[in-house]
């Protein structure tokens, strides 16, 4: 039973100095410190349950998101959890339509990241308390702006159709897990030796799908792609990620040169806002057998709708912390099904794997009913800071067992990495001063 009035919301700036090892680096983000705005909500229910929510950020960006979470807090505080989830669509709309904050969005950038952190905490708490049926799930989705491609009834039909074989898919997930790919071998800041060593380890661990960062320097890309393709062989799957580095013609030209390494997709070839640019690139790359993947920096469901309408992507990459939590991710997953486009989530960062595993396993069991051309990103950093870290077996995500959204961090980790007073940062700052 849903219970409790929210009496406290806290938000902390948690940062990990990943840039020191080049982890997470790409053609645009050369010094990322993987970070999170970490939200905890508590109720007066007296059951000891707290809702934990995160959104993924990079270093300094976190302090801005923390401010936005504080600015949104009044929407949640002193509310009954039952009233929130009883009209979750309305509550989602209230948060994303705040009359003063929407001016600095709307539904994009810092306020939307903050919305994700807050709502992820609500979902975590709700999920710890009880399960959900299809009608309840649909009642959480704000269909405003997308009814031209997906109505609530369309969505209901999709969920109903996917009832067939659901039990078997559940069993399959419990036994084999959801297929994953790794990005951990080939960050742009890694030396060739690190790349080779990580790749060899990944192969030994059974990985068959790999992503490599590209986009800063063509000759360098050619060398690194050759290196990784030689190591993994012709049969294994290779993806490339340019993190928005190119103009549209440049993307086509660059990928024509990298086509010999047989990538399945090029990810974020250009500005994430350029829907028609993505469509042009997609069309040009069809003869080369390369698809376009994007989504990790897609602001909201409207952009995804247009990408789908414009045939601008072949792989759709939801992000559990960029979209407005489970509510908005559900709408995008359902639209992708309607357009027959596979969802291959963005993960990694801080806790993105932990969160998105819930969404993608739900997609398979209850929506898409297919694994064709589908896989979820995996990055092997920072899981040790979570109370319920992901379990990977044979390059697959095994379904999480604990109730909730797997968002809870270890208090000890949060304390140590809280910025700037945590011991990790105090030590780094002292070393910097000396
Ligand atoms: C800055 C991040 O590490 C980014 O490179 C992640 C990314 O693009 C991906 O995982 O895909
Ligand atoms: Mg990417």
What is the pLDDT at residue 287?
Answer: 98
- 6 phi/psi in degrees, rounded to 5: -75, 120
Same domain as 362, residue 286: yes
Q: Tell me, yes or no, whether 401 and 416 share the same domain.
A: no
Reported as a single tens digit per residue, the pLDDT across 33-56 is 999 999 999 999 999 999 999 999
Beta partners for residue 386, in sequence order: 409
Q: Quick one: which atom of ligand 1 is closest to the CA of 29?
A: 1
Bridge partner list, 56: 36
The model's pTM? 0.95
Handedness of CA 57, 60, 65, 70 (dihedral sign): positive
CATH number (domain holding residue 33): 3.30.390.10
Q: What's the rounded Cα separation, in Å, for the pair 165 and 322?
A: 31
Q: Which residue has the tokens 């993947």?
A: 293
How far apart CA 392 and CA 274 sit, in angstroms, is 35
Q: How many CA atoms lie within 13 A of 183 on its CB side?
A: 27
Say if 140 falls within a structural domain. Answer: no
Structural domain for 166, as ranges: 152-410
Q: Which long-range contacts (CB under 8 A, 24 or more apart) does 165-170 make?
A: 165/369, 166/365, 166/366, 169/364, 169/365, 169/369, 170/365
Q: Whose CA is nearest to atom 4 of ligand 1?
A: 24
Q: Binning pLDDT at 50, 70 and 90, where does residue 131 land?
A: confident
Write down the H helix ranges in 233-324.
248-258, 275-285, 301-309
Among all ligands shown, which has an atom nearest to the Cα of 182? 1
Catalytic residues: 213, 346
> pLDDT (tens digit, 9 = 90+) per residue, 350-377?
999 999 999 999 999 999 999 999 999 9
CA 154 to ligand 2 centroid distance, Å: 30
Report the relative pairing of strands 34-43 and 50-58 from DSSP bridges: antiparallel
145 in any annotated domain: no
* For the CA of 243, the nearest atom of ligand 1: 8
Is residue 421 packed enough to be buried (19+ CB in 10 Å), middle (13-18) or exposed (0-12)?
exposed
| Residues 292 and 281 sit within 8 Å (Cβ to Cβ) | yes
Q: Which ligand is nearest to the CA of 26?
A: 1
Q: Whose alpha carbon is nearest atom 11 of ligand 1?
A: 346
Indicate the number of domains in the chain.
2
| Interface confidence: ipTM more than 0.90 | yes
Distance CA 106, CA 103 (A): 6
The confidence score (pLDDT) of residue 398 equals 98
Q: Please tell me the number of Cα atoms within 13 Å of 163 on its side-chain side.
A: 8
Q: What is the mean pLDDT of the chain?
A: 97
Same domain membership, residue 390 and residue 421: no
Residue 272 in this model has a pLDDT that exceeds 80? yes
Confidence of residue 133 (pLDDT cuts 50, 70, 90): confident
CATH of the domain at 398: 3.20.20.120
Q: What pLDDT digit, counting tens, does each position of 386-412 carry?
A: 999 999 999 999 999 999 999 999 999
CA–centroid distance, residue 269 to ligand 2 (Å): 10
Q: Torsion over CA of 414, 416, 419 and 421, rounded to 10 degrees?
A: 130
Question: Does one domain contain both 32 and 174?
Answer: no
Same domain, 296 and 363: yes
Q: Are residues 365 and 425 in the same domain?
A: no
199 and 125 within one domain: no
Q: What is the pLDDT of residue 130?
A: 85
With residues binned 3-state (H G I as helix, E B as strand, rest as coil), the percentages for the chain, rounded to 5, are 45, 15, 35
| Ligand 1 proximal residues by C-beta, below 6 Å | 24, 26, 29, 32, 183, 241, 243, 296, 346, 348, 377
Q: What is the pLDDT of residue 132?
A: 79
Co-location of 192 and 327 in the same domain? yes
- What ligand has the least distance to the C-alpha of 24? 1
Pocket test for ligand 1, best of 55, 241, 265 (most atoms within 8 A of CB): 241
Kindly state whether residue 139 falls inside one of the protein's structural domains: no
Could you identify the residue written with the tokens 């990985």? 207
Kindly report the protein residue whose alpha carbon is nearest to atom 8 of ligand 1: 243
Task: Indicate the top mutation candidate among 316, 348, 352, 355 to test ligand 1's pocket, ranked by most ligand atoms within 8 A of CB.
Answer: 348
Residue environment code for 374-408, b if the CB has 16+ CB neighbours within 10 A, otherwise e: bbbbbbbbbbebbebbbebeebbbbbbeeebbbbb
Q: Give the pLDDT confidence of 212-245 residue by residue, as tens digits.
A: 999 999 999 999 999 999 999 999 999 999 999 9
Intra-chain end-to-end CA distance of the chain, in Å: 56
Based on the domain organization, do 163 and 115 belong to the same domain?
Answer: no
- Nearest residue (by CA) to ligand 1, atom 9, is 346
310 Cα to the center of ligand 1, angstroms: 25
Residue 253 belongs to some domain of the structure: yes
pLDDT of residue 434: 83
């Amino acid at each position: 039973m849903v219970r409790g009035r929210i009496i406290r919301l806290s938000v902390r700036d948690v940062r990990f100095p990943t840039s020191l090892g080049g982890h997470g680096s790409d053609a645009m983000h050369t010094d990322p410190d993987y970070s999170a705005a970490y939200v905890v909500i508590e109720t007066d229910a007296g059951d000891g349950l707290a809702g934990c929510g995160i959104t993924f950020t990079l270093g300094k960006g976190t302090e801005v998101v923390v401010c936005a979470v504080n600015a949104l807090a009044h929407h949640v505080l002193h509310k009954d959890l039952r009233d929130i989830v009883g009209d979750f669509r309305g509550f989602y709309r209230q948060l994303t339509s705040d009359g003063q904050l929407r001016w600095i969005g709307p539904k994009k950038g810092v306020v939307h990241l903050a919305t994700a952190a807050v709502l992820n905490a609500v979902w975590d708490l709700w999920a710890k308390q009880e399960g959900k049926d299809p009608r309840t799930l649909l009642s959480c989705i704000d269909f405003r702006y997308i009814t031209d491609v997906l109505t609530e009834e369309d969505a209901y039909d999709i969920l109903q159709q996917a009832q067939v074989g659901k039990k078997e898919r559940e069993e399959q997930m419990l036994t084999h897990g959801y297929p994953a790919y790794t990005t951990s071998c080939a960050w742009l800041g890694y030396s060739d030796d690190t790349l080779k060593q990580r790749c060899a380890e990944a192969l030994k661990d059974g990985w068959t799908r790999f992503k490599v960062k590209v986009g800063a320097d063509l000759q360098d890309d050619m060398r690194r792609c050759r290196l990784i393709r030689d190591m993994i062989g012709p049969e294994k799957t290779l993806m490339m990620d340019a993190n928005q580095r190119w103009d549209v013609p440049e993307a086509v030209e660059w990928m024509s040169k990298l086509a010999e390494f047989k990538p399945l997709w090029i990810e974020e070839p250009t500005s994430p806002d350029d829907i028609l640019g993505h469509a042009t690139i997609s069309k040009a790359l069809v003869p080369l057998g390369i698809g376009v993947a994007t989504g990790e920096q897609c602001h909201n469901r409207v952009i995804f709708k247009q990408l789908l309408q414009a045939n601008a992507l072949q792989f759709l990459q939801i992000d559990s912390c960029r979209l407005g939590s489970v509510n908005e991710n559900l709408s995008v997953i359902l639209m992708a099904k309607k357009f027959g486009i596979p969802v291959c989530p963005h993960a990694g960062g801080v806790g993105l794997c932990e969160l998105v595993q819930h969404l993608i396993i739900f997609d398979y069991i209850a929506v898409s009913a297919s694994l064709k051309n589908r896989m979820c990103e995996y990055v092997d950093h920072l899981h040790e800071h979570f109370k319920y870290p992901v379990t990977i077996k044979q390059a697959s995500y095994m379904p999480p067992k604990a109730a909730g959204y797997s968002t809870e961090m270890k208090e000890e980790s949060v304390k140590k990495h809280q910025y700037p007073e945590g011991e990790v940062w105090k030590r780094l700052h002292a070393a910097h001063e000396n």
